[in-house]
Structure 1
Amino acid sequence: MSQDELILRRFESGDSDGVWHLHRTASQDVGVCGPEGAWEDDLRHIEEVYVGSGGDFVVAHIGARLGAMGGLKPVDDDVAELKRMRVDPVFQRRGLGRRVLRELESRAVALGFKWIVLDTTTIQVGAQRLYETAGYVRCREGMLHGYAVIFYEKRLTGQDDPT
Structure 2
Amino acid sequence: MKIIKKNPTDCDAIILMEELSKTLESITGDSGKNSFDPSDVCIPRSLFVIAYDEAYEPLGCGAIRPIDEDIAEVKRMFAKAKTKGVGTKILLHLESEALKLGYSTIWLETRVINRAAVSFYKKRGYIQIPNYGKYINNPKAICFEKKLL
Instruction: Please list every run of 5 or more consecutive structure 1 residues that lacks an aligned counterpart in the other structure.
Output: 1-5, 158-163
- 3-state secondary structure, aligned to 1:89: coil
Are positions 1:7 and 2:6 aligned together? no
Kept after mapping to 1: 8 A contact 2:23/2:31: no
Kept after mapping to 2: 8 A contact 1:138/1:151: yes
The alignment-based identity, stated in percent, is 24
Q: How many residue pairs are counted as aligned between the two chains?
A: 143
Letter in 2 for 1:8: I
Higher radius of gyration, 1 or 2? 1
Match of 2:46 among 42, 50, 55: 55
Q: Structure 1 residues 23 and 50 mapped into 2: Cα distance closer, same or farther (>3 Å)?
A: same
Per-residue deviation, residues 60-113 of structure 1 (Å, max 9, x unmatched) = 12334321111101011110011111111242xx11111110000000000000
Kept after mapping to 2: 8 A contact 1:50/1:72: yes
Letter in 2 for 1:61: Y
Residues 12-91 of structure 1 correspond to what in structure 2 (within 5 A)? Answer: 12=7, 13-29=10-26, 31-34=27-30, 39=34, 42=37, 45=38, 48-62=39-53, 63-91=55-83
Provide the rounded CA distance (Å) in 1 between the counterparts of 2:144 and 2:116.
14
Provide the rounded CA distance (Å) in 2 between the counterparts of 1:112 and 1:36.
27
- 3-state secondary structure, aligned to 1:27: helix
Provide the rounded CA distance (Å) in 1 between the counterparts of 2:70 and 2:40.
17
Are positions 1:151 and 2:147 aligned together? no
- 3-state secondary structure, aligned to 2:28: coil
What TM-score do you get using the length of structure 1 for normalisation?
A: 0.75
Provide the rounded CA distance (Å) in 1 between the counterparts of 2:69 and 2:139.
28
Instruction: Please list every run of 5 or more consecutive structure 2 residues that lacks an aligned counterpart in the other structure.
Output: none
Q: Structure 1 residues 74 and 123 mapped into 2: Cα distance closer, same or farther (>3 Å)?
A: same
Kept after mapping to 1: 8 A contact 2:70/2:104: yes
Per-residue deviation, residues 23-60 of structure 1 (Å, max 9, x unmatched) = 2243245x1354786x1551xx3xx3113242111111
Q: Structure 1 residues 130 and 65 mapped into 2: Cα distance closer, same or farther (>3 Å)?
A: same
